[in-house]
């Protein structure tokens, strides 16, 4: 096998950590001896062993380490966090070579892992499938480098361009397959946000019902605290944040956060302090437009159904061609990437 094939395998392993490792990055590791994979691992759970540890532990014959090459999708960590430094582990096992897809831009790592390996006489190579590795961890790199969560905008619109009826009713524009896909997406992200009108008129639970995975942190914008407490968002079943202009308060699974000026930037700044790595915004139209106009978004996923309302609340406009188009049953899904 070629170096890229081994690294591709490591990337595939890393993807198994999706939805479980945030705010850590997804990382995969493959250990190769004489063109044969003798060990594999990935970071499975935040707070648990890293990919390198799991891969090392899977090797049945430790005597082979000294002639083995380690493929890892992200620079091995060099600091003590919830687990010991992985760079030190590879030095301890006296591996021959380490091939790294992407360097870690976290200031706690920032080349220090590579330095530890080289100082120990281990050969290091970087940049194999670097673009793919950075893309896989785009949420992690966005938070580290832009100091904010990775933002995904999502909405469903009718064929004639409406996001809801005049009375704010939007059930159901997309089909059941599309709605199940949305639940999968929710399980993959740290948090989910809606505005006041969506909370009031749709009364969403914003949980993962049609998929297996964790529920995201729920967030609602209610600047004047006008929403009735009978809504699902206040049922205390899932941790929920309420951004407002009036008070700071914390109760069981409910926290009111006062912002002097509620804006996309102030919301993202607050979430960044909580190490929220990714945010999916599911409406309403006003909130989505605010994030689009501010330029504070990274990905946009739009379902277009065959339904027609003829009149209603217009869907937001991106004014750019879609990067990717898929068909989910009768729905068209357009995915746009910003920048």
Q: Which residue has the tokens 């091939």?
A: 99
**Catalytic pick among 5, 12, 52, 226:** 52
Would you state the structure tokens that stand for residue 214, as one six-digit string? 């964790």
At 146, which helix (H) or strand (E)?
A: helix 138-146
- 295's torsion region: left (phi>0), alpha (psi -120 to 50) or beta? left
Please name every residue paired with 172 in a beta bridge, in sequence order, or none if there are none: none
Interaxial angle between packed helices 3-14 and 51-58, expressed in degrees from 0 to 180 and rounded to the nearest 10:
110
Please name every residue paired with 124 in a beta bridge, in sequence order, or none if there are none: 98
3-state secondary structure of 221: strand
| Distance of alpha carbon 19 from alpha carbon 101, whole angstroms | 21
Look up 145 and say whether it is catalytic: no
3-state secondary structure of 4: helix
The set of catalytic residues is 52
């Amino acid at each position: 096998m070629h170096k890229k094939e081994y690294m591709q395998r490591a990337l595939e392993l890393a993807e198994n950590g999706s939805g479980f490792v945030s705010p850590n990055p997804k990382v995969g590791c493959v250990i190769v001896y004489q063109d044969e994979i003798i060990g594999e691992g990935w970071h499975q759970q935040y707070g648990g062993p890293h990919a390198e540890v799991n891969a090392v532990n899977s090797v049945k014959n430790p005597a082979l380490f000294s002639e083995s090459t380690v493929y890892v999708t992200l620079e091995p960590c060099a600091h003590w966090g919830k687990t010991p430094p992985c760079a030190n582990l590879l030095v301890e096992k006296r591996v021959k070579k380490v091939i790294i897809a992407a360097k870690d831009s976290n200031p706690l790592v920032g080349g220090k892992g590579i330095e530890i390996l080289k100082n120990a006489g281990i050969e290091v190579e970087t940049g194999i499938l670097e673009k793919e590795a950075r893309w896989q961890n785009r949420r992690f790199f966005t938070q580290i480098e832009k100091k904010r969560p990775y933002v995904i905008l999502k909405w469903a619109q009718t064929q004639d361009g409406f996001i809801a009826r005049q009375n704010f009713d939007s059930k159901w524009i997309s089909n059941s397959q599309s709605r199940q896909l949305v639940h999968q997406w929710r399980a993959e992200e740290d948090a989910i946000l809606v505005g006041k009108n969506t909370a009031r008129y749709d009364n969403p639970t914003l949980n993962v019902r049609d998929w297996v995975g964790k529920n995201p942190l729920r967030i609602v914008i209610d600047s004047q605290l006008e929403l009735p407490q009978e809504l699902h968002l206040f049922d205390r079943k899932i941790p929920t944040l309420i951004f407002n202009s009036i008070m700071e308060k914390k109760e069981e699974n409910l926290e009111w956060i006062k912002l002097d000026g509620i804006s996309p930037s102030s919301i993202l700044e607050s979430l960044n302090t909580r190490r929220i790595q990714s945010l999916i915004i599911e409406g309403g139209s006003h909130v989505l437009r605010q994030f689009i106009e501010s330029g504070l978004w990274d990905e946009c996923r739009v379902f277009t159904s065959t339904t027609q309302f003829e009149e209603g609340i217009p869907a937001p406009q991106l004014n750019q061609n879609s990067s990717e188009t898929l068909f989910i049953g009768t729905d068209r899904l357009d995915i746009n990437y910003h920048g």
